[in-house]
Structure 1
Amino acid sequence: MHHVRQEDLPFVGGIVHEFVGADQGDTGVSVFLFHGKPGSGPGPHRHPYDEIQFIREGCGVWTVGGKTFEGRGGDIFVIKAGEVHSFKAIGDSPLVQLDVHVSPHFIQEDL
């Protein structure tokens, strides 16, 4: 078994804790623990593996494969390998989500 606390993970850009599977028990997934204020979020990018986003709280606007839509706490999005996507927190409260990357390392091509 491997144990780590979220606050002990790298905190990047003031919005995301990074759980890198290869560094955390040598597991096959990596996770972004995103907690972003309104207006924050990544620009267009893609990954060579699937990503599953579990939206826990707040609201956001996503663009995936050229289609734009809103999401909120309770939504789950499956973004397939190679799909260009981006999102931004909107509203008055933070957007909180877990982004599971089906890879032991993060691989991201910013566009």
Structure 2
Amino acid sequence: MNSRAEGATIVADSDIRIASGRSRRFEGAEHEADISYFFVENQPGEGPGLHWHPYSETWVVLEGTARITVGGETFTAHAGDTATGPAYVPHCFVNAGTGMLRLMGIHASATIIQTFLSED
């Protein structure tokens, strides 16, 4: 449930949880915000397939290890690291560690627009 205090909006975790999973999807336009994000909690080996957005994306690794691919480049990011990907460039990430990956995927858009390159 959303609540307002002094012009701020508080969005409950349960209101943005994706189905019965661990991850959350925040669409800024629904809450008078100019950005959107995914809060991801992935087990080892889990991650989204290759996709792109018509805006840049920034990833903040909160816990664990992510293997991130942007275009033709793949790199490893650890807890505390921040990585970015430009608009229209295909990208993906996967939990490359042995424990939980917690990551924020911040979208430079009030709505999340993504095009997957395959159905994997």
Q: Does 1:80 align with 2:86?
A: yes
Relative to structure 1, the CA distance from residue 41 to residue 12 in structure 2 (aligned partners, 3 Å threshold; closer, same or farther) is farther
Q: Does 1:100 align with 2:100?
A: no
Count, aligned residues:
110
Asked if the contact 2:41/2:100 (under 8 Å) is kept, the reply is: yes
Asked if the contact 2:45/2:94 (under 8 Å) is kept, the reply is: yes
Higher gyration radius (CA): 2
Asked if the contact 1:12/1:18 (under 8 Å) is kept, the reply is: no
Question: Counterpart of 2:18 in structure 1: which amino acid?
Answer: F
Between the aligned partners of 1:75 and 1:7, the Cα distance in structure 2 is 27
What are structure 2's unaligned runs of at least 5 residues? 1-7
Runs of 4+ in 1 over 4 A off after TM superposition: none
RMSD: 1.3
- Secondary structure (helix, strand or coil) at the match of 1:7 reads helix
Query: What's the offset of the Cα at 1:12?
Result: 4.4
Identity, in percent, stands at 35
- Secondary structure (helix, strand or coil) at the match of 1:82 reads coil
- Secondary structure (helix, strand or coil) at the match of 1:78 reads strand
Between the aligned partners of 1:95 and 1:105, the Cα distance in structure 2 is 24
